Chain A
Amino acid sequence: MKKFSLLSTRAGALFLAPATALVGVFVIVPFFWVIFVSFTNRTLLGRTAVDPDFVGLQNYFALFNPATFFTRGQFGFSLILTIQFVLLSALIGQALLGLLLAWLSQTVTPTLKSFLQTAVIAAWILPEVVIGFAWFAFLDYDNGTLNMILRGLGLPPGDWLLQQPFWVIVFFNTWRGAAFSMMLFNSAFQSIPPSYFQAADVAGATSWQKLRDIALPLIRGHVVTDLILITMWTFNVFTPFLLTHGGPSYRTEILSIYTYRIAFKDFEFGKGAAVGVVIMLINLAFALVYLRLAHKKPVEAE
């Protein structure tokens, strides 16, 4: 039987061509180019900029050198910092807060719900540079809004960007990204027939029981999608640079900022590319784990 098609194969190929060319030039080629560069000692300046040598796995050995691995400003330190950053700001912060907000907004009045959503989404739609400076102003020691509030309440002010830089970027990223998870979970909850919850209400289920027994199992796919996306985004996010520039003394230098420093401040393209490849592999591993979770069938009760 002939398969129905809207376009002839040739016309289809024609429509696909521009996108294929763009993806090829800006995604596929750089992808392989980065892998290639990571095996060289290419730099921006000097002899190796023109004529880089093939150095094999030397860049990778340098990254995983046990002597310096955990030292501040080195790859291992950044990696561990990034993992903490992802766990705290993406998984606990964004996903959990987003889930909680979405769940609570199912029960509040429509007016309060739209107000809540507007407030949360505002944090998400503002341009990054704008919110970067807004937060900088918010946290400033002398004239920052936060310290003014604290002084007004009679509490001691703090120089947050210097004293607690890591928690600042964790809090910042949670604030910034919770809206996405909230919206995703919100629409997921709304896809569940209301009678499911009403039947549970009649049966006497509490809000927590409804969330655990009905809502979460039914939006499992959405949860996994959300976790994949926000893990990737947070793993690769560069915006904290606007607040702390990776400092003070590398204390907020997550991997994306580390890569930037190695490649574009220290101009070691080869090593920077190696970090990029490692990040890519880590992201791939995350995605595979999550997809496995998503495809796992619900356990049947005995």
Chain B
Amino acid sequence: MASVEFQNISKTFGAFVAVPDISFQIADGEFICLLGPSGCGKTTSLRMIAGLETPSSGRVMIGGRDVTYLHPKDRGISMVFQDYALYPHMNIADNIAYPLKVRGEAETKRHARAKDVADVLKIGDLLKRLPSQISGGQQQRTSLARALVYPSEVYLFDEPLSNLDAKLRLEARGFLNHLQRDMGMTAVYVTHDQAEAMALATRIAVMDKGRIVQFAPPIEIYRRPATTFVANFVGNPPMNLVPVEASVGDGALHLRADGLQVAPIELTDAVAKAARSGKMTLGVRPEHLRIAGATDHNILSGELFANENMGPESLVTLERGDNGRVTARIFTDDEIKVGTSVHLAFDARHVTLFDDTGARIPAADER
């Protein structure tokens, strides 16, 4: 196992800039998720670690060694591909053992090793089948087995679960989580599924337009999203973002928006500075909203837009006067009728404020 480092990496394809300038460090044994929408440069970054793309500038280090221009095979990496890249004409045993075959291992030895790995991944009884004869989940584990069959410094995953259906994805995710804890592997995992990133990563790099917007542990990303982009990307459903007009008076911050009632907020230096533009964004997570009672001071109100019952909770979406929508996760069985007006309450400590550039304003209790 080894560390991975990007030093001022950029990558352009012709006139298109995929990655303008990225630097980060991944410590030995970390499981890093590169999370972002499609086209954000996460796969390109992964492929530069793998050596399948060469950076336009900058250096890639693995285990302190400069591997920027090394061939993939000389980097000590394994990779799992989104489409699994299983060879349709080889059976499962040969697919798993292929990396050993190209290393010149004898057939009996490499098949024994393939069997060992396959047993760990619970596909030991499928070794003689062809890839087309096994299920998607089994194919996924076969490609995982092929990556694990030889020792590597770093394991790379390119959206390995995105071709699975929801149930299998959950199962495979749990399995990967267990495996990571078992092996303590250094891994870089690309995904656009925030739940996958939250569940697997020790740290998440949220990427947007070729830049890393925030690089932090999952809980940090969730609790203190660096920007409105991160807030809007992480969480299911994502954080509610309400554009508000900000003004300072009586030594406190006052926020105004259609359907919003909020008690004056403590004025810190950071808040005062951000308030100068007069524009802010107020963020509240859906799970921090509840049906308002008589004593609540912080309230979002509007017409009910949709009420989706998910079993344990309901997703209640209301439409405020200016057409902005707010979604709440309500843990109640109370029937709410469409078109009726709904009042949702939240606590001041659950409010996240962003300035007019979208950057988070540090809360009063931070620093």
* Chain A contact residues, CB within 8 Å of chain B: 193, 195-196, 198-206, 209, 213-214, 217-218, 298, 300-301
Contacts and interface: CB of A to CB of B under 8 A. Distances in A.
B89 A199 contact: no
A193 B102 contact: no
B91 A198 contact: no
A204 B103 contact: yes
Nearest to A204: B73
Q: Chain A contact residues: over half helix, strand or loop, or mixed?
A: helix
Contact of A300 (B52, B71, B128): B128
A193 B81 CA distance: 11
A196 B79 CA distance: 12
Interface in B279-314: none
The majority secondary structure among interface residues of chain B is: loop
A200 B91 contact: no
Nearest to A209: B102
Contacts of B94: 301
A216 to B, nearest CB: 10
A201 B98 contact: no
B83 A202 contact: no
Given A196-B85, A198-B81, A204-B73, 11 more contacts: A193-B83, A196-B87, A199-B85, A201-B51, A201-B71, A201-B72, A204-B103, A206-B102, A213-B87, A217-B89, A301-B93
| Best-buried of A205, A209, A298, A301 by chain B (most CB within 10 Å) | A301
B85 A298 contact: no
Nearest to B156: A202
Contact of A298 (B50, B82, B89, B146): B89
Interface in B162-207: none
A28 B94 CA distance: 50
24 contacts: A193-B83, A193-B85, A195-B82, A195-B83, A195-B85, A198-B72, A198-B79, A198-B81, A198-B85, A199-B79, A201-B71, A201-B73, A202-B73, A202-B77, A203-B98, A205-B73, A205-B98, A206-B102, A213-B90, A214-B87, A218-B87, A301-B91, A301-B93, A301-B128
B52 A201 contact: yes
Contacts of B90: 213, 301
Interface string B90-128: 110110001101110000000000000000000000001
Contacts of B88: 218
A202 B47 CA distance: 11
Contacts of A217: 87, 89
